[in-house]
Amino acid sequence: MTNRLLTVAFLAGLAVIFIQLLSGYAPDTDLNLTASYYANQTAPDLGAQNIVTGIIVTYRGLDTLGEVTVLFLTAAIVALVLVHGRALEAERGPKPFPAGELLQTGSRLLAPMILLLGIYVFVNGHLTPGGGFQGGAIVASAVLLLLLTDPMRRFSHRLISRIESTAGLLFVAIGLLGLLFAGGFLDARFLPQGWFGALFSAGAIPLIYSLIGLKVGAEFSSMLLSLSETEDEK
Amino acid sequence: MVMPNIILIIATGLGAAFLLGLLREEKRLSAYLITLAALAFMSLISGLWLIAFAGGAAPIEVTTAGTPAPFAINFKMGLAEAALLLLINLTALLSAIYMQQTMLRLGRRIMAVFLIAVMAVSGIILTRDVFNLFVFLELVVIASGGLVLMSTDKRALGAGFKYLMVSEFITVFLLIGIIFAYHASGSLNIDTMAASDMLAKQGGALAFFLILIALIAELKPFPANGWALDIYESAHPGFSALFSAVFATGALFAVDKVLLMGGTTWLPLATGIGLLTFVASNIMGLAQHNDRRLLGYSSIAQVGLVLAIIGQREVLGDSYLFVAGGILLAHAVAKAGLFWMSGMFEARDLKDWTVLRQKPLMVGIFITFIAMLTGLPPFPGFYAKWELVHGLIAHNQFWLVAVILFGALIEVTYLMRWFGYVIKRDAPRYTEDTPFHKELVVVLAAAAGWVLAYVWGELSAYRNLLSLAEGNLLVVLPLMFALLFFMIDGLPARIKNIIAIAGMVAYFIASYSSYDPLQLIFGSIILLGGAVIMLASFHAEGRRTGFYPSAMLMYAGLALLIIAENSFAFFAAWEMLTIGSYFLILRGKASEPHALSYIIFSLGGAFAILTGFALAAHGQAPFEIASLADVREDVAPYVFILLAVGFMTKTAAIGLHIWLPGAHAEAETDVSPMVSGVLLKAGLFGLFTLLMTMGRQHLGPVDLTLVLLWIGALTALLGNLMAAFQEDAKRLLAYSSIGQMGYALFGLALMNKLGWLMALLFVINHYIYKSMLFLSVGGVAKRTGTRAMYKMGGLIALMPLSFIAVMIGIIAMSGVPPLSGYGGRWVFYNAIMSAEHRLPMILIFLSGPIGFLYLFRLVHTIFLGQLKDEHRRLKEAPFWIILPQMIYVLFLLGFAVVPGLALRRVDAYLTRFFPNEFGLDWTGPAITSEYGYWAPVSIMIVIGVIFCLVLGWMLFLNRNAQKVKQFNIVYSAERPYRPETTHYAWNFYAPYRKALGFMVQPFVTNFWNGIATALHNLGDFSRRLYTGNGQTYAFQMLIFVVMAYLVSRGMI
Amino acid sequence: MSLVTLAMAGGFALILIGLYGALNNRNILRIIIAFTLANTGVHLVLVAVGYMPGRTAPILDAAVPVDQANALIIDPVPQALVLTAIVIGLGVTALMLAYALRLFASRHTLDISKFTELKW
Amino acid sequence: MSTLTLLMAVLAAVAMLGGAAVAVASKSTPVAILAAGLVSLMASVLFVLLAAPDVAMTEAAIGSGLTTFLFFFVLGRVKEEQDDD
């Protein structure tokens, strides 16, 4: 097939670029300018143990704000795209797709625990690996579990979207608080730094990361809901 | 004053979007109002900052997270950023207003998506962090994916998916590029990266290439842009406006920013890709019929042009922002406006835009947008075009200029063709009911266009065409006067006509004292002559919408042309008169294709003039027209050629003439004399100026004035020949104009005093008899309802005044004594005798009798011979059309008696250029030359006596003649298939055609048609590249990147 | 072969495989899957670029005291970027999937070559 | 760096690329989805080895978890529809 051959030929061109990048690459032996600033300053400036978290929530907080916005956008668009289906399904009533009773009971027990785990992950984001995104994903998986075992279970879309929006608004508001009371937009230092390594430390970082976690969790859930509930136009 | 923090733009957009999520689904109106308020607030912040920067405030830098720049994301804002932010947020606000219904229908979610999209583009403009740039870019991509679905067109779904596929490719390149650039420079901050030695490292340069190419890919470069066209075609027009005006602006600015890191090495790549896209998209645009897809092609082309300019920023230096900004802003406003307009009706063919004609205001707005896109004065693109060409030429970028101008001419072609459709095609019967808010948005966009025009005029180093604050009122008034007619276009035509004539005469009186003799001659013809022609316009009834603004724009341009003191003023006037006359010509019934070829040739000629000026300027723009004499020797011949070609386009020299016959013949009765009698003089004025200042020029061994001499002679011969073979009376006159202009060119190219005097005589004579003939033939055509001469005949008794005018005109024109044409001939033969080139002279001599042939045909077939049955009840032409003709008759008689009235002063003036040559002696009643004398009064008397004698003798001979009724002849019973072929006036000069027909074969027409067809076919063929398959589009993106890599290997 | 080279080469290979799949599979779902592969490859390359042999994760704990962090941890920046990129990638994937559903609903096919009503 | 880690890395990389090949070439879409999930999982193993625990967690949760579920949801939708036809 000429088409396939052509694709391979041009991908080979791309491979040449990649090989050049690979052969020209040598790992740094010392941290570069930016990285060493973070290594030295994250602890004294922000009081966060997890430097990646420090970067994500403050130094590159704008990226993160953009990132949760991406999810917000996607959730909104997915809901928008599939909105017709939902109205239809509401008319048709519940579909017979029962899960086993064991599974249902099990998941009802399991779901709150997963939820709790998720919250633990994002609250501790500034101390240990993990944080808002991972925690949010875990929260969403609890929702997913409930969805799988009892597909007809009505999740309140309004509740989810309220959580999503409130978290988002608070994120922006905290950013502006940083502008007013600290060094600039998204500066987390308007709250006290606390003890290094304690749960309530690192200024507003845990707060922000929790909001991110809530928001991400809500957004993932919303996406899953939209995709699972949709019914195509007929 | 405390300025709001620019972070607020981002925070407002985001906050409002999140806030919308809290609202109940039903509260759509509140959600909509929040959206509008947020956009208005974002625009306000941008506007305040723009004012601050315009007032001289220093650029600001804003850090986030309370951490200094390279370590945290930072924003920067200066004048350019503020201007673009205002553009982005205002356009978004207007688009949101425009999409009111759609937004209310789809609810708060779509509004949130919209807000985030706008916020993200603002972020692209502001951020100085390359990864942050990526995040904002992704936001725009995803938001677009959602906004595309606002369309009711089902096909938008496929288009959106194709876009997402292509963006996945872009994401891969961008991320890989960013991380290796980070590795090479140790930073993500653009300014820090630019200062690092990143490019010196192997991976660094390659990484930069990937970043750059990924961002360029967002600009829809050829050929990786099929997805964008599909979006333009299918998306909601409110979104397409945003996509074209706002998103592309953001991406362009991102490229501009990122190029900072690459230094100068990478600029040629940007220019190359930009130019390729510009030209290719425009060529493909030629073959488009769908309006939105056409706008898509045009958008892509314009963005390509700006990219090419970004690549030339080192060359352009200080004027870079002025040029790029002018083109970008004009494009954005016009494109957004046109997309918004396209949503005002359902049908999607270009020809369906005729519906605009139901609202004259919308037509005015449409032409505003088209003029903005094509860079016509007074819009920003005009100033930018001027600066661009001057900047590039000053650095010897000749090929670049040629390619840009070629592409621009193609764009002009399809945009003006579209305008022609709007004005000339059949309007639909139905009426479209446009909601008020949509019209409001379109009107606001047009208003923004005019504001931009004013601002760019202020920013330009030259004159602001729209400003009254200019020392010399005479320079300002003409355009203002013309613009006045846009405002009062609702008045009855007669009132406007009075104002127009009064204005022109008053302006002439005011300027009279400041004219030199040459200007005086041209000025009288333009202003007084123009006013006389406008007497015929009293004939029109009703409002005559559009006529006066166009005519006055043309006259304003002409009036400004002859007093232009420097190259810029000259060029601006030239473009003005071109546009005005184009609108005028377009008004004719069947003039659409001819008006199109007129504007294409004219703007092509204007480009030649612009390039010529730029070449002559040599960094000193604008220069005094007079200093054309001091152009450096190495460029002088090229300047001469470019300017001469430009001017000869207007005089319709052979080879460049094909636009003229149709344009002049199809024009309205009173427009034909304007564009023939008056407008053609612009070209002659240019040639006069050129030869006066630059004199003889040689390109190698070739004497360029000799070339002009040959062109003049050939034009005279072929123009006359073609005139003789026309069946259409107005076409005959049109071809005759070509021939006449050939004579004038010939006279000028003789480069002696008598030759110039002859050319000047032609300027005057041609105005008079061509205006007169066009009016009388036009009057006849009006009464008979045809212009075909074989359908006329015997009108002498019914239309005696028209006959007298034609008769006098012909006598004057053919150079038969006693009228002024004879004087022209006399000077002409004197001039020839004093020149050294004999061969072209034979041609000129030959064309004399041929000229007589077509004139004879004119008078014979229309007024003599047999009257047609259906014409028996015809009346004389309307009074207002006859009146100017009678004025001309009187003037011709007067001018024949005392030609010295005007010429004496000109003769003295010309002595300045030929101090050693013997001129004419004007003392006494006779005019004397080296070769003899011309005594107008005596000739008049002699001819009069001879005429009376002959007439008396003939009457005496015919005293016994018997009168026969005209219509009692019985023809044969057979009815020929084409009855006209049996008429004696059909193919009147068949024998001559047999002998000389080979010379009037439409070689030139075929040549230009061939080029047009070839380009069109090329466009039609190459657009098949865009198969519509998303996979193909993605593959084209891959090909684009790999090819760009191969091309740029030298730089890595 | 070092770990970094291995990871980076693996990442690049994954990108190429993913793009190949995206260009040669006609099924829209399969195209989206292929893109997620390419994305994963990109993430791998990003993380690999930040890796420095012999150092530890950028988390300050008992093993990495604050004052020695500069000498002990690897570059945290690429990791932060990848986190963002992963989430954005998911967003795009979800969006494409939603599109796929709608496209399927409109034509009852997922063959990309059937959606070419817009062209030229 | 111990040989063991490198060995693990090589294994993970091989499994990852193998999974990718299956994901692209397999005729069955469910298999392809599962293979893509495996690729993500192997990638997160590599992330752990590259001292990026945060990324590893995220990739595992999002790349191999959520994304896979999203695909199955959509696949289920499409399958249902096709059965109707």
Q: Which of B100, B128, B156 is the last residue of a domain?
A: B128
- Touching subunits for chain B (3+ Cβ pairs under 8 A): A, C
Segment B585-597 shows an average pLDDT of 90
User: What does the DSSP assignment read for B834-862?
Assistant: T-S--HHHHHHHHHHHHHHHHHHHHHHHH
The backbone torsions φ and ψ at residue C58, rounded to the nearest 5 degrees and listed phi first, read -75, 60
Q: Per-residue pLDDT tens for B536-550?
A: 999 888 888 889 999
Of B141, B165, B233, the CB nearest to C118: B233
pLDDT band (50, 70, 90) for residue A195? low
Q: Are D16 and C14 a contacting pair at CB < 8 A?
A: yes
| Least confidently predicted of A203-207, B133-137, B536-540, B660-664 | A203-207
- How many domains are contained in chain D? 1
Q: In sequence order, what are the beta bridge partners of B921?
A: B928
B86-95, B835-844, C4-13: range with lowest mean pLDDT: B835-844
Residue B847 has pLDDT above 90, yes or no: no
Instruction: Identify whether B5 is part of a domain.
Output: yes
pLDDT of B633: 86
Q: Is B926 exposed, middle or buried (0-12, 13-18, 19+ CB in 10 A)?
A: middle
What is the distance between the alpha carbons of residues B393 and B405, in angstroms, rounded to a whole number? 12
Confidence class of residue B915 from pLDDT cuts 50, 70 and 90?
A: confident
Domains: count for chain A: 1
Contacts of C21 in chain D (CB under 8 A): 23-24
Chains D and B touch (3+ CB pairs under 8 A): no
pLDDT score, position A227: 76
Lowest mean pLDDT across A21-35, B373-387, C57-71, C82-96: C57-71
The mean pLDDT of B236-258, rounded to a whole number, is 93
The DSSP annotation for B353-367 comes to: GGGGGG-HHHHHHHH
Q: Name residues whose C-beta falls within 8 Å of residue B824's C-beta, 6 or more positions apart in sequence.
A: B758, B761, B762, B765, B815
Confidence grade of residue D84 (pLDDT, cut at 50, 70, 90): very low
What is the residue-wise DSSP string for B496-555? HHHHHHHHHHHHHHHHGGG--HHHHHHHIIIIIIHHHHHHGGGG--S--TTHHHHHHHHH
CB contact residues (below 8 A), chain A span 215-234, against chain D = 220, 223-224, 227-228, 230, 232
Confidence of residue B924 (pLDDT cuts 50, 70, 90): low
- Would you say residue B68 lies in a domain? yes
In angstroms, the CA D72 to CA B166 distance is 24
Question: What confidence tier does B232 reach under pLDDT thresholds 50, 70, 90?
Answer: very high
A88 in B contact zone (CB under 8 Å): no
Within a domain: D20: no
pLDDT, residue B602, reads 93
The closest alpha carbon to B771, from B889, B688, B597, belongs to B889
A193 at interface of C, judged by CB pairs closer than 8 A = no
- Residues of chain D contacting residue A230, judged by C-beta atoms under 8 Å apart: 77
Of B70, B136, B188, the CB nearest to A66: B136
* Percentage of residues in chain B having pLDDT higher than 90: 47
- Would you tell me which residues 38-77 of chain C have a C-beta closer than 8 angstroms to some C-beta of chain A? 49, 51-53, 57-61, 66, 69-70, 73, 75-77
Contact check, Cβ <8 Å, C101/A81:
yes
| Whole-number pLDDT of residue A96 | 43
Return the percent helix, strand and coil in chain B, to nearest 5.
75, 5, 20
Regarding chains C and A, contact by 3 or more CB pairs under 8 A is answered as yes
Distances in whole angstroms, Cα of residue B422 to Cα of each of B419, B425, D23: 5, 6, 54
Domain assignment present for D23: no
Which residue in this structure is represented by tokens 């080029």?
A: B1011
Q: How sure is the predictor about B464, in pLDDT bands with cuts at 50, 70 and 90?
A: confident
Q: What type of residue sits at position B559?
A: A
Q: What is the pLDDT of residues B380-430, one digit of tens each?
A: 999 999 999 999 998 888 999 999 999 999 999 999 999 999 988 887 776
In this prediction, residue A200 carries a pLDDT of 66
What is the enclosing helix (H) or strand (E) of B698?
strand B698-699
Range of lowest pLDDT (A153-162, B141-150, C92-101, C106-115):
A153-162
User: Cβ–Cβ of C119/B1031 closer than 8 Å?
Assistant: no
In-domain check, residue A13 = no
> Do B302 and B287 form a contact (C-beta atoms < 8 A)?
no
Residue among A134, A227, A232 whose CB faces D73 most closely? A227
Q: Which has more confidence, A199 or C27?
A: C27
Strands (E), B49-92: 60-63, 74-77
Asked if A38 reaches chain B (Cβ–Cβ under 8 Å), the answer is yes
Residue D64 forms part of a structural domain? yes
Residue B630: HSE in the Cβ half-sphere, 13 Å Cα cutoff: 8
**Which other chains touch chain C, taking contact as 3+ CB pairs less than 8 Å apart?**
A, B, D
Using CB atoms, pick whichever of B157, B229, B1031 lies closest to residue C99: B157
Give pLDDT tens digits for B467-518.
Answer: 777 667 788 888 889 989 988 888 899 999 999 999 999 999 999 888 888 8
What's the pLDDT score for residue B974?
47
Domain count, chain B: 2
The answer to whether the CB atoms of B201 and A24 lie below 8 A apart is yes
Chains A and B are in contact, defined as 3 or more C-beta pairs closer than 8 angstroms? yes
Residue C94: inside a domain, yes or no? Answer: yes
Model confidence band, residue B830 (pLDDT cutoffs 50, 70, 90): confident
- Answer whether residue B820 shows pLDDT above 90: no
Q: Choose, out of B150, B172, B294, the residue to mutate when testing the contact with C (most C CBs < 10 Å).
A: B172
Taking only the tens place, the pLDDT of each residue in B944-992 is 888 888 888 888 887 777 665 555 454 444 455 566 666 777 777 777 7
Q: Does B369 reside within a domain?
A: no
Question: Could you tell me if residue D72 is inside a domain?
Answer: yes
Does the residue A22 lie in any domain?
no
Chain A residues whose beta carbon lies within 8 Å of the beta carbon of residue B17:
69, 72, 168
Nearest residue to B1044 (alpha-carbon basis) of B266, B260, B31, B254: B266
For residue D52, is it within any domain?
Answer: yes
Distance from CA of A219 to the nearest CA of C (A): 10
Please tell me the total count of domains within chain C: 1
* pLDDT > 70? residue B819: no
B376 is a domain residue: no
Least confident of B253-257, B428-432, B544-548, B842-846: B428-432
How high is the pLDDT of residue B831? 75
* pLDDT value at B813 more than 80: no
Q: Is the pLDDT of residue D53 over 80?
A: yes
- Contact, B246 vs B218, CB < 8 A? no
Q: Return the H-helix or E-strand segment holding B699.
A: strand B698-699
- The segment with the largest mean pLDDT, out of A53-62, B450-459, B834-843, is B450-459
Closest Cβ–Cβ partner in A21, A68, A78 for C95:
A78
Segment B623-638, tens digit of pLDDT: 888 888 888 888 899 9
**What confidence category does residue B274 fall into, taking pLDDT thresholds of 50, 70 and 90?**
very high
The tens digit of pLDDT for each residue in B319-352 reads: 899 999 999 999 999 999 999 999 888 888 888 8
The pLDDT of residue B613 is: 93
Q: Is A51 on the interface with B (CB under 8 A)?
A: no
The pLDDT tens digits of the residues spanning A160-171 come to 888 888 888 888
Instruction: Compare B1050 and D9 and report the one with higher pLDDT.
Output: D9
> Is any Cβ of chain A less than 8 angstroms from the Cβ of B1046?
yes
- Paired tokens of B482: 């013309």
Q: Do B135 and C46 touch (CB under 8 A)?
A: no
Residue D69 counted as domain residue = yes
Residue A233 is predicted with a pLDDT of 40
Domain that holds residue C107: 3-58+71-114
Cα B354 from Cα B428, distance rounded (Å): 7
Q: Which pLDDT score is estimated for A152?
A: 53
pTM over 0.90: yes
- CB-nearest partner of C84 from A44, A67, A232: A67
Work out the angle at residue B925's Cα, subtended by the Cα atoms of residues B924 and B931, and round it to the nearest 5 degrees.
Answer: 85
Residue A36 has pLDDT above 60, yes or no: yes
The answer as to whether B46 is a domain residue is: yes
> How far is CA B29 from each of CA B24, B106, B146, rounded to the nearest angstrom?
11, 11, 20
pLDDT at residue A99, as a whole number? 56
Q: What is the pLDDT of residue B171?
A: 95
Query: Mean of the pLDDT values across residues B703-718?
Result: 91
Q: Is residue C27 part of a domain?
A: yes
Spatial separation of the C-alpha atoms in residues B663 and B594, rounded to whole Å: 5
Over residues B23-60, the pLDDT tens digits come to 887 888 999 999 999 999 999 999 999 999 998 889 99
Domain membership of residue D51 as a residue range: 3-14+28-84
Q: What pLDDT is recorded for position B322?
A: 92
- Helix intervals (H) in B127-189: 130-147, 156-185
Distance CA B167, CA C91 (A): 13
Q: Which residues contact A142 (CB under 8 A, 6 or more apart)?
A: A110, A111, A112, A114, A115, A118
State whether B21 and A81 contact (CB < 8 Å). Answer: no
pLDDT of A174 over the 90 cut: no
Chain C residue whose CA is closest to A45 = C66
A23-32, A206-215, B284-293, range with greatest mean pLDDT: B284-293
In eight-state DSSP terms, residue D50 is: T
D24: tokens are: 């692209």
Tell me which of A112 and B737 has the higher pLDDT.
B737
Residues 119-158 of A with CB under 8 A from C: 128-129, 133
Confidence of residue A29 (pLDDT cuts 50, 70, 90): confident
pLDDT in tens, A50-86: 888 888 888 888 898 898 899 889 988 888 887 654 5
CB contact under 8 A, A186 and B145: no
Angle, CA B619 vertex, CA B618 and CA B625 arms, to 5°: 65
Residue of A nearest to D53 (CA): A129
> Quick check: is D41 in a domain?
yes
Put simply, whether A6 touches C (Cβ < 8 Å) is: no
Q: For position B946, what pLDDT does the model report?
A: 84
- Pairwise CB contact (< 8 Å): C116 & B1028: yes
Nearest-Cα residue of chain C relative to residue D55: C83
- What average pLDDT is seen over chain B? 87
Give a yes or no: residue A234 inside a domain: no
Cα atoms found within 13 Å of the Cα of residue B106, Cβ hemisphere only = 26
Minimum distance, in Å, between the CA of residue A231 and any CA atom of chain B: 17
Q: Vertex B496, ends B492 and B497: CA angle to 5°?
A: 115
Interface mutation target, options C36, C90, C99, C103, chain B, most CBs of B under 10 Å: C99
Q: How far is CA B36 from the centre of its chain?
A: 38
Domain that holds residue A148: 50-229
Cα separation, B297 vs B233, in Å, equals 10
Q: How confident is the model at residue A179 (pLDDT cuts 50, 70, 90)?
A: confident
H or E stretch including B933?
strand B932-934
- Write out the residue range of the structural domain in which residue B8 sits: 1-128
B622 upstream amide cis, omega within 30 of 0: yes
Q: Which two tokens stand for residue B556?
A: 């304003």
Chain C residues whose beta carbon lies within 8 Å of the beta carbon of residue D62 = 86-87, 90
- Neighbouring chains to D with at least 3 Cβ pairs closer than 8 Å: A, C
Q: What is the mean pLDDT of residues A117-137?
A: 79
Residue B980 near residue B986, CB atoms below 8 Å: yes
